[in-house]
Homo-oligomer: A and B are copies of this chain.
């Protein structure tokens, strides 16, 4: 039994809750471990039993957000109907979630963006995840004959590169105040058309 009366899990959860609140209220730069500890009623050193270091707390939050997104996108990808439409919807959902995050949670987005720039493993896993989800969608389109792609892998790469302006965090940030959904829709449509066309 720990002294706090909290299980390790509970303490981790509370730590994350408090961190999110503090980062939102005072900004990422002014986020202090000692403040979290005070809120929890422990010394800051106690936190090191549950997190390797300070950024690990922030990374946990980013990782969870990415996981939620991954799951939400899986649900979009799994909807019935034409693969072509599913791919468009999938990119739209991907874009919209990131844009909503920048707008609604700018400081936590900043923390996420730092994890991206640091190439944190959980970020790479997320990217692999996105890649795999899209690959399945393209393969589905190929199976039904909807898409006539010679190389699903190449198609995925082309799609992800061509939509970089809509899902790369820095680009999402740059265009946060514009509604670019229709534009994204057109770009994805054109690329899909191009992938199936002639060759």
Interface residues of A, Cβ cutoff 8 Å to B = 154, 157-158, 161-165, 168, 170-171, 183, 186-187, 189-199
Q: CA of A165 to CA of B163 in the docked complex: distance in angstroms?
A: 8
Known contacts A165-B164, A168-B165, A171-B168, A190 near B194 by CB under 8 Å? yes
Q: CA of A198 to CA of B171 in the docked complex: distance in angstroms?
A: 30
Q: How far is the CB of A123 from chain B (nearest CB, A)?
A: 14
**Binding site of A, secondary structure by majority: helix, strand, loop or mixed?**
helix
Known contacts A165-B165, A198-B193, A158 near B170 by CB under 8 Å? no
Is the CB–CB distance between A171 and B162 below 8 Å? Answer: no
Residue numbers in B under 8 Å from A157 (CB-CB): 183, 186
Q: CA of A171 to CA of B164 in the docked complex: distance in angstroms?
A: 9
Q: How far is the CB of A155 from chain B (nearest CB, A)?
A: 9
Is the CB–CB distance between B197 and A193 below 8 Å? Answer: yes
Residue numbers in B under 8 Å from A165 (CB-CB): 161-162, 164-165, 168
Q: How far is the CB of A196 from chain B (nearest CB, A)?
A: 7
Is the CB–CB distance between A187 and B168 below 8 Å? Answer: no
Q: How far is the CB of A197 from chain B (nearest CB, A)?
A: 4
Q: CA of A163 to CA of B164 in the docked complex: distance in angstroms?
A: 8
Known contacts A194-B194, A195-B194, A196-B197, A186 near B158 by CB under 8 Å? yes
Residue numbers in B under 8 Å from A195 (CB-CB): 190, 193-194
